[in-house]
Amino acid sequence: MGFGSVWHWIVVLIIVLVLFGRGRISEVMGDFGKGIKSFKQGMNEGEEVKPQPPAGQIAPPAADQSVSAEPTAEKTDKPA
């Protein structure tokens, strides 16, 4: 009885069916299929996300944010 013989795999299949049952195996395979589908969906969504800058670097401002070179005046409670 070698590792690749047909009888070896039949015995392994019978043991797996006895331990887990037919319903449990189909449930696991269904969960496996859902996991693959979710993974593919996540990969497609991941391509649309803007890349983050590496740690320690400051991200450039977004297109809708304006950057002013002039310092802003601080408000004081003192009358002029």
Distance (Å, rounded) from C-alpha 80 to C-alpha 76?
Answer: 10
pLDDT of residue 38: 92
Burial call 16-49: b when 16+ CB within 10 Å, e when fewer = eeeeeeeeeeeeeeeeeeeeeeeeeeeeeeeeee
51 within 8 A of 60, measured Cβ to Cβ: no
pLDDT tens for residues 46-67? 666 566 666 766 666 666 655 5
Query: Quick one: residue 73, left, alpha or beta (phi over 0 = left, psi -120 to 50 = alpha)?
Result: beta
pTM (predicted TM-score): 0.37
Which stretches within 1-80 are classed as H helix? 6-48
